[in-house]
Structures are given as structure tokens and as C-alpha cells.
Chain A
Amino acid sequence: MSWPLFLARRLAALVAVLLVASFLVYGLLYLVPGGPMAFLLGNRSGSPEQIAAIRHEYRLDDPFLIRYFGWLGDALRGDFGQSLVYRQDVSDLMSTRLATTGLLVLYATVIIVVAGVGLGVLGALRRGTVDAVISLVNSIFLATPTFVVGVLLVIVFALGLGWFPVFGPGAGLPDRLYHLTLPAIALSLGSAAFLARITRASVGEELRREHVETARSRGFSQSHIVRRHVLRNASIPVVTVTGLTVAGLIAGSVVVENIFALDGLGSLLVRAILQRDFAVVQGVVLVLVTAFVLINLAVDVCYSLIDPRLSPGEAT
């Protein structure tokens, strides 16, 4: 199998997953007790004319599949319908928030990878005091919930020391990054600690492999062995965990967004669910599913680049 074929197959699978997911997202809202009419009317009891008008506006009289394909066709063109609460296009509501959440998740990912892999490798190579201290700090970070970390960061670094703003997303890229620093740290600490554990175990295991003994017997220095024979071999579980973590962060960012008053995708989703704003729920969930699937594709491609045994492009 060659690289183009491999990618084509992966992309086809991706489209299939998205299709199923979109069907579930759209369909599940109709399984909720009361059906869409209850959402739309809320606690009011509408007159027959009102009900008929709503049914017509939302095409509720059409068969389910026709409605679904209509919605899917619009969604493919970037039109997710109108929010019932804001009376705005869902795509407009999502686009600004997507930028905030996307930047936050990206920022947190960088911190998670740099800190997690760095501390994990350090712990694996420096067994003893350094490793013990890192493990202890990791345990503390793993055990502390995000909202506690967030509040502590605000108290110490925003209110106490005044180094960072307390809330808001900022304007312009440098200012936005500055505003997102504390949220990104709050979002990443637990995951970074988790990744550090995985990295430490994986690197430690790889250091005991036979081929590393070969490298030692050939007189390579420790740093050469770590660079050439340990890090790449140990990176499969690290990439797996990073992918899953980042995918989880997109939805998990809601807590941090609330603490730091950031208007992100997570808080939009939670609010939409509470307000039964189901066009928004559908749109946001579809975006989250897409992000999840894309990250998994990226992880698979990484596997193939890291390990030739998993690679489609064999040099034969």
C-alpha cells in the first residue's frame, strides 16, 4: 500500500465516521422526551396557528430523513441553521468562539507536550532524587481538579502578583496569547502530568531494550543513544496519549473558560444544552466530532512516520 492510497482510505473512513456521527447528533435530539416541539415552545402552550408556523419554519412536517439530509446539506455549506435563543446564525456564533477555544487548546497542547515529554524523559534518565521530585509533583497535579488550579492561578498570578489579566480573551495575537496564558496552564497541568508518566514509563522501557544494549556495546554516548535509539522508539504511546488528551481538551475547556470568563466553544455548548438551543448543540457537537476524528487521523499518520512497521510506504 502506498501513501496516497493510505491517506485516501483514512479520509474515506473519516467521512464515514462523520456521517454516522452527524446522523446520531441530529437524530438523538428527536429521541429526547417531548420532541422538538417541546424545545421550541418551552413552557408556553402555543396556539394551533403558532404551532403550525413553527412546524413549517423548522420543516417538522417533513419526514425525518429528508430533514436530516437537508440539515446535512446546509451544514456542509457551513450553514448550521439559526440559534433559537440568539436568533443568529449558528456558524457566526461558533466562528469567534472556535478561534478562542482553538487557540486555547493549541496553547495548552504546546505546554502539555513540552512539559510532559520533557519531565517524563528527565525522570526516566535521572532515576533517584530528580525522578522522585518529578513523580511527586506529577501526582499533585494529577490529583488537583482543573477548577482548583484555575482559581489558584487567578489568586496568585492575576490578583496577587498582577502578572496576568484576570479574565477576557484579549485582542490581537500577542495580547490574546498573553490573556490565554493562565487558562492554558490551568488546562494543561493535569494532562502534562499524565503525559509525563506515560513518557517516563515508555522511555524507561525502551532504555532496557536489547537494541539499546547493542548501541551501548558499540560505544555510543548516553546522549547519542537517547536521541537516536530511545526517543523515537518510545514515542508511540506518547503520541497516542497526546492525541486523546488534546481531543478531550476541546470539550474539557469549558471549566477553564468559565473561570476565566472566556467565551469559548465549551461554554457555548453548555449554555446551549441548558437553554435547549438544539441547532447550536448540533453544530458544536459536529465540530467537536470533526476535531476528534481529525486528531485521530493525525495520530495515525504520526504512527506511520515514527515506526516503519506501521508505515504504508515500504521501500521494496
Chain B
Amino acid sequence: MSNDLLVLDQVRLDIPAGRDWRTLVENVSLTIAPGEAVGLVGESGSGKSMTARSVLRLAPPGARLSGRIEFDGTPVLDLGPRDLRALRTRRIAMIFQDPRAHINPVRSIGDFLTEAMVTHLSVPAREAHARAVRLLADVGIADGERRMRQHPHELSGGLLQRVMIASVLAVEPDLVLADEPTTALDVTTQSEVMAILDDLRRERGMAMLLITHDLELAAATCDRIAVMYAGRILEVQSAETLVQTPRHPYTTGLMVSRPSIDRVAHRLPVIAGRPVAAFEAGAGCAFQPRCTQAGPECLTGRPPLRELAGAHVACVRAEES
């Protein structure tokens, strides 16, 4: 455990809702080794984004975050404001889903790229500019000098997401949190942007936590995959074995409900019902109401994550499926 870069242990996140608390993330335990890419897969509202934000303590105001989050041996939840900022500036960087909303629209691309270098790393403005142009070239933007003078509204979504990736590379962090980095993009640019991110990350030896609802994308780019549902992790396996032998009925459901180019289906199989958030789930297994394999034992208590033939799975009937 000690050589892990990031350790999440029993992480729980509640947000205030009137007088009550609503649980968004519950009992999440996950590790990432240096240079490793871990995919966190789940539907909207499963708590995957909130889990990633918890690592940087970017939870919504008033939220209650508990459990243990350790980055490179440092307990993140105990950090003071100064140390937390240092962690955010140098060690962990985040790529957000919608670059158009997540990059300040009134400042130039050049400002966005050099801001962190100039402010945090005390790089002289001229050198920061040159470095930013090189970074733009690294992410496949050739006319960097011109782009530096432009503003976000003059760039396409794909270009902007590359700018976002360049800004993350600029501070050379140890861990990249990528929150659905390609979801807001055209299908054609999705794979391009993902390839750039994956290549540059490997080159620089950065670890990555990739948050996505796209199981196939995660399988293609990540070493290990964790599947989340209703704020809990249902299954963790290496990417290869997960695709071959999914252990949890939910993972199986996710895999068959995805359209494929070489398999013509008149109607895609879907997982019946709608996804629930952690605070909406009943007493038993949160996935039980939608599960095709559910039996009476699924109604008694949340199944814990347990080891099964090299995988970790939270299903009492995992052996049977």
C-alpha cells in the first residue's frame, strides 16, 4: 500500500439539503500507483465526479467529506489552506468536462496557459509564453503564437480541450484527474483528444484517474477500472479481465447496452429502471431493483467489496453469474 500515489479509504461525501444530509459518495476505497491509469466508470449521478473532486477537496460548499484520502503519504483531508493550494498547483491537476465553461471566457488562451506558470512557478512572462507555445505544439496545435492571442470563443471545443490538457501539462503534476474529458466533444474529435491525453501522460509518467461513462473508452486507455453505482464502487478489475469476465451484473449490463459497429441490434438491450443516487438507494444492494440476477438475499444490507479470483466485486451472487 505504501508505494501507492493516491489512496482513497472509506471516503464518504454528504451535502446539506435543507436540514438533512444527502449522501453522494459512500464507502469508496481505491488506489492509484504512480504512472497508473485508473478508470472510474458509472452513469450520471453515480458519484464519480464527486469522488474525483474530493481528491482536490473541490466538493460543493458546506459538504461533509470523511474517510481517508492520502496522496503520496500526505493526508489530504488534514491539509491547511496553504498546503492544499500547493497540492493543487504542483501535484494534482484536473481536466474538466466542458472546456468552454471551464476556461475564463474574457481572458486570452495565452493568459490561461501562462497564468499558473507565472503565478506559482515564478517563470518570467516571456519564457512562460515560449513554453506555452511549445505545449500547444505538444497537444497538436501548430499555430500556437496565433492561438495564444485568441479568446476561448474563437476556438472549437476540441481545440479548447487540447488547451486545457496543455495547461495541465504545464505544471507537470504527478496525477491527472480527467473528468469526462471527451464527453462534450464531437465523436470524431473525442478519440483524437483522448489519444493526445493518453500519449502525453505516458510520456511524462503521470498517473491518471479517468472519469467516464464510456466503459469501452476506459478499457482502451486505463490499466484498471472501477465501476461505480449510487455512490459506491461495485467492481474493480484490471481493464483486460473486466472486459472479458465482468463480475457484477451491473458491469455486464453496461457492456451489452453499448452500441457496437460490428453487431447489428434492432433494439439495444437496456438496464431497466433509472440510475439512482446514493441517498435514494434502499437498504439492500443499491442496484437490486434493476438487477436481473437479484434474489431475496440482495435485500439485506449493502454487499461489501470482496475479492473474487483477482477481482474485487460487491455482489453476493457474483459466483453464480
Task: Report A's interface with B, CB cutoff 8 A.
Answer: 209-211, 213-221, 224, 228-229, 232-233, 306-309, 314-316
Cα–Cα, bound, A218→B102 (Å): 12
Cα–Cα, bound, A209→B84 (Å): 21
Q: Could you say which of A209, A213, A307 contacts B58, with CB atoms under 8 Å apart?
A: A213
B104 near A229: Cβ-Cβ < 8 Å: yes
Please name all residues of chain B whose beta carbon is closer than 8 Å to the beta carbon of A220 when the two chains form the complex: 85, 115-116, 119
Cα–Cα, bound, A215→B101 (Å): 12
Q: Which of the 9-residue segments B89-97, B246-254, B310-318 touches chain A?
A: B89-97
Known: A213-B58, A306-B106. Is A218-B93 also a contact (CB below 8 A)? yes
Binary CB contact string for chain B from 97 to 111 against chain A (1 if under 8 A, 0 otherwise): 010011111111000
Please name all residues of chain A whose beta carbon is closer than 8 Å to the beta carbon of B86 when the two chains form the complex: 219
Closest to A210 in B: B101
Number of A-B contacts (CB under 8 A): 78
Cα–Cα, bound, A213→B58 (Å): 8
Binary CB contact string for chain B from 58 to 90 against chain A (1 if under 8 A, 0 otherwise): 100000000000000000000000001111111
In the complex, how many angstroms separate the beta carbon of A234 from the nearest chain B beta carbon?
10
B104 near A233: Cβ-Cβ < 8 Å: yes
Can you give 23 contacting A-B residue pairs, CB < 8 Å?
A211-B101, A211-B103, A213-B58, A213-B102, A214-B96, A214-B104, A217-B93, A218-B115, A218-B116, A219-B88, A219-B116, A220-B85, A220-B115, A220-B116, A228-B107, A232-B106, A233-B105, A307-B105, A307-B106, A308-B108, A309-B153, A315-B150, A316-B154
B99-153 residues at the A interface, CB under 8 angstroms: 101-108, 115-116, 119-120, 146, 149-151, 153
Q: Could you say which of B102, B104, B154 contacts A314, with CB atoms under 8 Å apart?
A: B154
Task: Report B's interface with A, CB cutoff 8 A.
Answer: 56, 58, 84-90, 93-94, 96, 98, 101-108, 115-116, 119-120, 146, 149-151, 153-154, 167, 171
Closest to A208 in B: B61
Q: Which 8 A-B pairs have the closest CB atoms?
A: A219-B88, A219-B89, A210-B101, A315-B149, A308-B151, A219-B85, A217-B94, A211-B104
Closest to A220 in B: B119
B151 near A309: Cβ-Cβ < 8 Å: yes
A211 near B102: Cβ-Cβ < 8 Å: yes
Please name all residues of chain A whose beta carbon is closer than 8 Å to the beta carbon of B167 when the two chains form the complex: 218
A224 near B106: Cβ-Cβ < 8 Å: no
B106 near A233: Cβ-Cβ < 8 Å: yes
Please name all residues of chain B whose beta carbon is closer than 8 Å to the beta carbon of A224 when the two chains form the complex: 119
Please name all residues of chain B whose beta carbon is closer than 8 Å to the beta carbon of A211 when the two chains form the complex: 101-105
Please name all residues of chain B whose beta carbon is closer than 8 Å to the beta carbon of A309 when the two chains form the complex: 105-106, 151, 153
Closest to B85 in A: A219
In the complex, how many angstroms separate the beta carbon of A304 from the nearest chain B beta carbon?
11
Cα–Cα, bound, A307→B120 (Å): 26
In the complex, how many angstroms separate the beta carbon of B120 from the nearest chain A beta carbon?
7
A210 near B88: Cβ-Cβ < 8 Å: no
A228 near B89: Cβ-Cβ < 8 Å: no
Please name all residues of chain B whose beta carbon is closer than 8 Å to the beta carbon of A216 when the two chains form the complex: 58, 88
A210 near B120: Cβ-Cβ < 8 Å: no
Please name all residues of chain A whose beta carbon is closer than 8 Å to the beta carbon of B116 when the two chains form the complex: 218-220
Please name all residues of chain A whose beta carbon is closer than 8 Å to the beta carbon of B149 when the two chains form the complex: 315
Q: Could you say which of B103, B120, B171 contacts A214, with CB atoms under 8 Å apart?
A: B103
Please name all residues of chain B whose beta carbon is closer than 8 Å to the beta carbon of A218 when the two chains form the complex: 88-89, 93, 115-116, 167, 171
A221 near B153: Cβ-Cβ < 8 Å: no
Cα–Cα, bound, A229→B115 (Å): 11
Please name all residues of chain A whose beta carbon is closer than 8 Å to the beta carbon of B58 when the two chains form the complex: 213, 216-217
Closest to B90 in A: A219
Cα–Cα, bound, A213→B85 (Å): 13
Most chain A beta-carbon contacts within 10 A, residue among B56, B104, B150? B104
In the complex, how many angstroms separate the beta carbon of A298 from the nearest chain B beta carbon?
19
Known: A217-B58, A308-B105. 20 other contacts (CB 8 A): A209-B101, A211-B105, A213-B102, A214-B102, A214-B104, A215-B104, A217-B94, A218-B89, A219-B86, A219-B90, A220-B119, A224-B119, A229-B104, A233-B104, A308-B106, A308-B153, A309-B105, A309-B106, A315-B149, A316-B150
